[in-house]
Amino acid sequence: MDTVPNITDSHANQGSQGKRVAALVTGLQELLPASSVIMSVESQRPFECDGLAVYQQLPLITVIPETVDQVQAILRLCHFHRVPLVPRGAGTGLCAGAMPNAQGVLLVLTKSDQILHINHHTSTATVQPGVRNLALTEAVAPFGLYYAPDPSSQIACTIGGNVAENSGGVHCLKFGLTVNNLLQVTIVTIEGQLMTFGGEGLDEPGMDLLSLMTGSEGLLGVVVEAKVKLLTRAPRVQVIMAAYDSVTAAGDAVAALIGQGIIPAGLEMMDHLAISAAEDFVKVGYPTDAQALLICELDGTEAEVEEQLALVTECFKQHGAQQIRIAKDASEAAALWHGRKAAFPAVGRISPDYYCMDGTIPRSQVGYVLTRISELSQKYGLRVANVFHAGDGNLHPLILFDASIDGELEQAELLGGDILTLCVDVGGTITGEHGVGLEKMPQMPYQFGDAELAQFRRLKAAFDSEELLNPGKGIPTLKYCQEYRSLQHG
């Protein structure tokens, strides 16, 4: 095993920075047990990227602390030596937000994986940041409770990462994103100071710093504890599938359903390519001749669900559903969901690589946007499968490409960029739940003007004036924006 830290080669002899780095490494080694400090290239390899693997970078050094005291001391050291720090949970993020910094420390929080307290009277849980999303739901299940945000990566992703990215999932329309399911967070600032935002009650006085921290992508502080809201499992959950011969018809059915005052717990749409890929992969009985598929989940008491089920079925029929399947039992419901949840890996089977986008649009624009995506797909010569949270207008176009073909990744990124700017053009956003990270920096000046971006930078400086926390991500610098705009207009 290569045990020589890459710092000795690349930095130790580079003047003052080299000295700072050497002092930092010594400090970290004094502070942490040997098993918590990783310096070899080989051992750091698993940390060089997050879920968006096209962006890779080895960190200078990786640390895996076990206590809050250690996290504080690490941040103090980084601050003292002016060395960048990138926080990381399970690394399942999809925007390269946890991609390491070549000159910096990668702070991995997965060892902080304890559920500190579950209070089933208040339906709350206090957790360390490395607790996995699904592990929390499993731990509170005996009380009839669950944690509502359920991103596709819920088996692996951590609550700390969910807070940093304001993660969503398939149940956001009714139950909200992470920001709507949090009561309190404790963070460590770049100076190593502990601070708590929010509280045990609801609506603490003063500016809402809890919401500001949520989705701040590790740019403002490191989450070391979170108190989350849990929900009571509904006595009945009913899944319905409806197949349509066009995405427009399916989109109209969604608008009509919501117009009637029904807010399902989940409402998902898949297009033809996604349906076929999913069916080939998991064989759950999706009609492969359909152009669009809706999966709708209702929850509530027996009486509530029965009442809504009749309305939903009628509405789907009225809007021309070719086929409607009402899950008869829990296993059929699970199968219908399984196809949707397996859509990403299913697409992975029909293409060597795929690139997942994350724009959100007003629901009324679904038909137009899907038509435009199909035109862009033809223009770039790359297939696009569409899976999305139809209830809240959050699109996940999956761009199919082959990275081994020269230039195809770049084409996929250009197509992705065009899809994101299209989302902004119709009144939406470049990211619904994945975050900006490094990936969507080029589109930030498209969505925001100079005044907003400058305001973001001043806000960042209020927390981290030396830009040591996750630098180069989330919020573009003024220089970056000027270069971006000159490229667009040049």
Partner 1 sequence: MADLTQQLAQQIQQACATNTVLKIQAGNTKAFLGRDTLGEVIDVADHTGVISYSPTELVIRARAGTKIALLNELLSQQQQRLPFEPPSFSGAATIGGTVAANQSGPSRPWFGGVKDSLLGLGLINGYGEVMQFGGQVMKNVAGFDVTRLQCGAMGSLGLITDVSIKVLPQFKANYTLTFEMAAEAALEAMVRWANLSLPITGMCYLQVQGKSRLHVRLQGGESGVASASQFLGGEQLAPNVADEFWQALREGQLLQPQPQQTLWRWSGPRDAPIHSVPNTSLINWAGSERWVLDDASVTPKKGLIQYQGGDRLAEVYGALSAPQQALQQRIKHAFDPHGILNPGRLYSWM
Q: What is the smallest separation between the CB atom of 278 and partner 1, expressed in angstroms?
A: 23
The residue to which tokens 């499968």 are assigned = 385
* Count of residues interacting with partner 1 (CB under 8 A): 95
CA-to-CA dists, residue 166 to 43, 341, 347, angstroms: 29, 20, 25
Provide the minimum distance between the beta carbon of 365 and partner 1 in the complex, in angstroms, as a whole number: 10
* Shortest separation between residue 96's beta carbon and partner 1, angstroms: 15
Q: Based on the shown chain and the rule CB under 8 A, indicate whether residue 449 belongs to the binding site for partner 1.
A: yes
Would you count residue 459 as binding partner 1 (CB under 8 A)?
yes
From residue 50, alpha-carbon distances to 44, 56, 338, 380 in Å are 13, 8, 24, 26
Q: Which of residues 28-87 bind partner 1 (CB under 8 A)?
A: none
The answer to the question of residue 440 lying near partner 1 (CB under 8 A) is yes
Phi and psi at 209, nearest 5°, equal -75, -25
Q: Are 347 and 399 in contact (CB under 8 A)?
A: no
Residue 150 binding partner 1, by CB under 8 A: no
When asked if residue 341 is in the footprint of partner 1 (CB under 8 A), the reply is no
Taking CB under 8 A as the criterion, which residues in 176-235 touch partner 1?
176-177, 179-180, 189, 193, 195, 199-209, 211-212, 214-216, 219-220, 232-235
431 binds partner 1 (CB under 8 A): yes
| 262 in contact with partner 1 (CB under 8 A) | yes
Within 228-352, residue ranges assigned H as helices are: 247-259, 272-282, 302-318, 330-341, 343-350
- Please identify, using beta-carbon distances, which residue of 42 and 314 lies nearer to partner 1: 314
203 vs 329, beta carbon nearer partner 1: 203
Looking at beta carbons only, is 142 or 206 nearer to partner 1? 206
| Neighbour-count burial for 26-62, b at 16+ CB within 10 Å, e otherwise | ebbeebbeeebbbbebeebeebbbbbbeebebbbbbb
Q: What angle do CA 336, 337, 338 make, to 5 degrees?
A: 90
Residues 353-382, interacting with partner 1 (CB under 8 A): 360-364
124 touches partner 1 by CB under 8 A:
yes
Cβ-based nearer residue to partner 1, 12 or 311: 311
- 444 touches partner 1 by CB under 8 A: yes
- Dihedral angle, C-alpha 415, 420, 423, 427, nearest 10 °: -150
Residue 316 beta carbon to partner 1: minimum distance, rounded to whole angstroms:
16
Least separation in angstroms between residue 141's CB and partner 1 is 14
Tell me, residue by residue from 401 to 420, as one string, x for binding to partner 1 by CB under 8 A and - for no binding. Answer: --------------------
Q: HSE-up of 195 (CA within 13 Å, CB side)?
A: 14
CA separation for the pair 181, 208 (Å, rounded): 14
Identify the DSSP state of 343: H
Single residue of 69, 306, 314, 466 touching partner 1 by CB under 8 A:
306
**Minimum CB distance to partner 1 smaller for 205 or for 407:** 205
- Closest approach, Cβ 74 to partner 1, in A, equals 18
State the pairing for strand pair 236-244/394-401: unpaired
Binding positions for partner 1, 230-259, rule CB under 8 A:
232-235, 255-256, 258-259
Minimum gap (Å) between residue 89 Cβ and partner 1 = 16
Closest separation in Å from C-beta 262 to partner 1: 7
Burial (CB count <10 Å: 0-12, 13-18, 19+), residue 451: exposed
Asked if residue 318 binds partner 1 (CB under 8 A), the reply is: no
Q: Is residue 18 a contact partner of residue 103, using CB atoms and an 8 Å limit? A: no
Nearer Cβ to partner 1, position 205 or 490?
205
Which single residue is written with the structure tokens 């924006």?
Answer: 481
**303: exposed, middle or buried (C-beta count within 10 Å: 0-12, 13-18, 19+)?**
exposed
